[in-house]
Structures are given as C-alpha cells and as structure tokens.
A and B are shown apart, each in its own frame.
Chain A
C-alpha cells in the first residue's frame, strides 16, 4: 500500500509557503451548517489545538456559487455577493479559512474573475458602494482548512491521542478543490496529501480505483440527472472503494459528503450492499486528537460511523 507514495507530487515549497495563522475568518458553509454541523465544530476543535482562532460573522451570506452553477440566478449576483462577503474579512484584516470545497472553489474562481475583468470588477465595486461597504481589493487570501492542517502535520502528529491503528481509510478529495490546480499544494491528477494525514494519525491509507472520481452532486445534477448518470456514477465509486477494503472515507466538502453518505441507502436498496461511513477530514483529525465523540455530530450521518470508530474510544 506504500506504492502510491512513489507517485506523490506534493510540492514541499508550496506547502512551506502556506501560513500558520493564529486568527482566521471562518467562512460558513450552508450545506455544512444544515447537513453535517459536526464538521463546523470539528474545524474549531482542530483549529484550537493548532492555535488558530476562528472568527465568524453573522453578516456572511451564502457564497451563491451553487445557484450560479445551476444557472438559477443572474451571474452578476454571484460576483456581487462574493465581493460583498469578502469585504467582511477584509474589513477585519483577516484571511479566510473555508471548510467546503464548493465555497472554496467558487470564492477563488469568482474573486479571480472579479480581478481579471474590469467589467466584473465594476459589478462588485458598485454593489459594495450601494451597500455602503468598502471596495473589495482582492488582497484577502482564501485557504481551505485542509491545507492549513497539512501545513502543521508534525504538530498534529504530536497531538494524536487516539492512534487509528489498522483503520483502512480512503480519500475523496473533491473536484472543486482539485480544480484550483494552480494553487493547490498537490497534483490535481494524483493527489496524495490526505493519505499522508491518515498515516500521521496512525491509520492505513487505501488507494481505490475510483478515488479521483467526483461525487456527482455538484451543479445540481443530483436533482436533474440523478437516475440517468449520478446514481450509476456513485455506485461505481462506492463499489470500487468496498472492493479495496475501505472501512472509512473522508471528504473535505459537506456537499460531497451528502452525496456519498446519503446515497448509499439507495445503492444498497437496489441490490449493491455497501456501507462505508463517510465523514469530513476535520472530523477524523478531531477524533484522533481525542475530541469527545458526541461533539463531532456523527448522528447526522446516514451510514453509521460509530461501528468503525468505537474500538478507538477508551
């Protein structure tokens, strides 16, 4: 199982370039807050252990990326709301930490569009002006929390309270993170940094065939093309993980988590019995660092999580 490392393309320079902040603006995710609130809690727990204080704002709205990519709103709305949302951390003088690949991808892509096209920039600036806010200047940095966890991997390793010895874990990276190939710390075609994190927690990383496959739920295809393409796709993915002997899967996006966790019920009902708990990477880290299990919100999961984690709770 060590073979995957030979192909590892993690860029140490990019990792070293990541900051180790003591304060970050936490960008809240709608799906995360509603479907898997344990993720939000876990992010705070891991942050606390690493000395990162997360500040949130009740003024922050939805990132609007989902509605944009479902073509259900005017594109200008997504540009304006990105500009507005990012003006909040800018005002606080903080960089942004995101725990949803969707929010991460949309914020980065839209912030890029805002600054590469003067017409789009004007849409954002006009919106902020009309709301009496300062212009968004574009200097605010946007990080996914998983990168920041990986940046401090040594510290995480030293903090492990529940070594996950023998637990076979597999990764689902999520497209909207990997699509940012110019900024990601790893190679989008063959990412391996989640596997490095599992090893640091004492677990056994498992590489399965459909590891790089997406969750199928983005841009609303889970609603419009569920029977036609999404279900066959998720079935392929989860069966390939089951064949590889995966006991637990982690995601870094509440949206992916919803697809891979909830749809197992349907896949099983249709004759392909599969039961692989899917949790967020931050939840896994928080668990290994000894966080009380009732704080991690595993109750929200459709595929039960505790059966595979129980033996590590003393």
Chain B
C-alpha cells in the first residue's frame, strides 16, 4: 500500500455523489460528530468513524475511501440520520460509497455472499427461500398448519415480470460485469487517526503507514 499523496485528491468523488440523486449534499455537514456518538458500530469497532468518513469524502481522498474496509461496516440502522442536525441521510451516502467502491473493483468479499440470494430471487421472485428439502418441508408443514399457502409462491406472471425487470434495468448485465471484474483487495482500516495495513513481513500483525 502506497503512502497517501496530495495528488490522490480528486473532485470526481464529490461530483459523483452530488449528481447521483441517491445521496444528499454532504457539504451541509458541520462535523459535530453526533452521528458517531449514536453509532452502534463505532461503539464496538473504534476504527469506524462516520464523521471521519464524511470528512474523507469532502477532502476528496477517494482512493483511501475506495480501498477502505471501514465503509463496509455500517449496519444501516440510521441512528445517525435520525440525529443529524444537517439532515444528512448517511445510510444512503454509505450505499452510494459502496457502489462507487465496487465500480473500482473493490469490496467484492463483502458483496459476494449475497450474489447467491440474487440468483435465487431471480428464479423465484422471493428472497431467502431455502434450498434444502428438509427445511422446505418444515416450512410447508408449519404454514399449512396455520392455514396459509404451503410456501410463499409468486405467480408465473409475477416471476416473468420480475425477470424482465432484471433485463430492462440492466441488472443482468450489471451482474455479469460484476462477476467479470477482477478483484481489488481492500485492507485499509483507520485507527486513532492512523492508517493500518497488514504487515507483509510479519503475517498477522499490522504496521503503521
């Protein structure tokens, strides 16, 4: 991991956020830190700091964000959004930053576990339907005993329409691209203002940059 340079700075990130329509204008941030104070992840994992992440984005240090482990920690509980005096919807910013990071090939290890849900949902238009026959039988039995349909089934028409949405919104193509893009490893975590990366010479430990 190279040391951070002034030349890493780019307005690209801030502009991308401003034009995404997804995340708010974070230039409203007054750095009060209330988001970090109410954050359950920051309470457990001290290197995670929402105020710092917003600051990094505003400072245009996008390489550091893209390769960061921190951006994947957010629970999306929106405590921060409920308390923010500038009414920034931080979870939506997080969602956007993650997509941005992925568009640079990073963060795959945090997205890969969900691709199987997508593949299954594309077939059934229901998420989380288990594959194991024994578990399915259990669900069938319980649901039938409650007077519900044995399984939550979406009609053929519904499934066909859902698959068509995958096609026309470009999601099929997006997924194909995702799977074909080579992975950029992420290993950057911030702790007490320092950047820590795994030390190659001594496996398992971390060194300061």
Residue on B nearest A62 in the bound complex, by CB: B127
Q: Is the CB of A175 within 8 A of B78?
A: yes
Interface size on A, residues (CB 8 A): 70
| Candidates B79, B98, B166, B175; contact of A214 at CB < 8 Å | B79
Q: Which residues of B contact A23 (CB under 8 A)?
A: none
Chain B interface category by residue count = 35 or more
Cα–Cα distance between A131 and B158 once the two chains are bound (Å): 10
Are A219 and B74 also in contact (CB < 8 A) when A76-B169, A232-B44, A297-B142 are?
yes
Given contacts A72-B117, A77-B171, contact A34 B72 (CB under 8 A): no
| Interface contact B128-A31, CB-CB below 8 Å | yes
Q: A213 contacts B139, CB within 8 Å? A: no
Considering only residues 117-171 of chain B, those with a C-beta below 8 Å from chain A are 117-118, 121, 125-130, 139, 142-143, 145-148, 151-155, 157-159, 161-162, 164-166, 168-171
In the assembled complex, the Cα of A109 lies from the Cα of B121 at a distance in Å of 21
Given the interface pairs A228-B45, A229-B44, the reply to whether A84 lies near B113 with Cβ below 8 Å is no
Residues of chain A within 8 A (CB-CB) of B73 are 221, 225, 228-229
Chain A minimum-CB-distance residue to B81: A179
Contact indicator B127/A178 (Cβ below 8 Å)? no
Chain B residues positioned under 8 Å from A130 (CB to CB): 164, 168
**A78 shortest CB reach to chain B, Å:** 9
Least CB distance, B94 to chain A, in whole angstroms: 9
B133 smallest CB distance to A (angstroms): 14
Tell me which of B72, B111, B166 contacts A72 (CB under 8 A): B111
Would A62 and B121 count as touching, CB distance under 8 A? yes
Q: Contacting B148 at CB < 8 Å: which of A40, A59, A230? A: A40
Residue of A nearest to B174 (CB): A74
Query: Which residue of B is nearest A40, CB measured?
Result: B148
If over half of A's interface residues share one DSSP class (helix, strand or loop), that class is named, otherwise mixed; here it is helix
Interface string of B102-126 (1 = CB under 8 A from A): 1000010111011101100100011
Report which of B127, B148, B153 forms a contact with A58, defined as CB distance below 8 A.
Answer: B153
Are B76's CB and A216's CB within 8 A?
no
Contacts of A109 in B (CB 8 A): 92
B155 touches A69 (CB 8 A): no
Taking a contact as CB atoms under 8 Å apart, the answer to whether A67 and B121 are in contact is: yes
Kindly list chain A residues whose C-beta atoms are within 8 Å of the C-beta of B40.
213-214, 216, 233
Chain A residue nearest to B168 (CB atoms) is A130
* In the assembled complex, B11 has its CB within 8 A of some CB on chain A: no
Within the complex, the shortest CB–CB distance from B121 to chain A, in Å, comes to: 6
B16 close to chain A: CB less than 8 A: no
Q: A218-B76, A219-B74 are in contact. Are A69 and B113 (CB under 8 A)?
A: no
B209 at interface by CB-CB < 8 Å: no
For residue B91, CB closer than 8 A to chain A, the reply is: yes
Asked if A74 and B171 sit within 8 Å, CB to CB, the answer is: yes
B77 within 8 A of A: yes
Contact yes or no, B139 A37, CB < 8 A = yes
Instruction: State the A residues within 8 Å of B (CB).
Output: 28, 30-31, 33-35, 37-38, 40-41, 58-62, 64, 66-77, 79-81, 84, 109, 113, 117, 119-120, 123, 126-127, 130-131, 175-176, 178-179, 181, 188-189, 212-214, 216, 218-221, 223-225, 228-230, 232-233, 294-295, 297, 299-300
Residues on B close to A: CB < 8 A? Answer: 21-22, 40-41, 44-45, 72-79, 81-83, 91-92, 95, 98-99, 102, 107, 109-111, 113-115, 117-118, 121, 125-130, 139, 142-143, 145-148, 151-155, 157-159, 161-162, 164-166, 168-171, 174-175
Q: A59-B161, A84-B165 are in contact. List 17 more A-B contacts (CB 8 A).
A: A30-B152, A33-B143, A34-B128, A35-B128, A41-B147, A61-B125, A61-B158, A66-B117, A73-B171, A76-B169, A77-B166, A77-B169, A80-B169, A127-B165, A221-B75, A228-B45, A233-B44
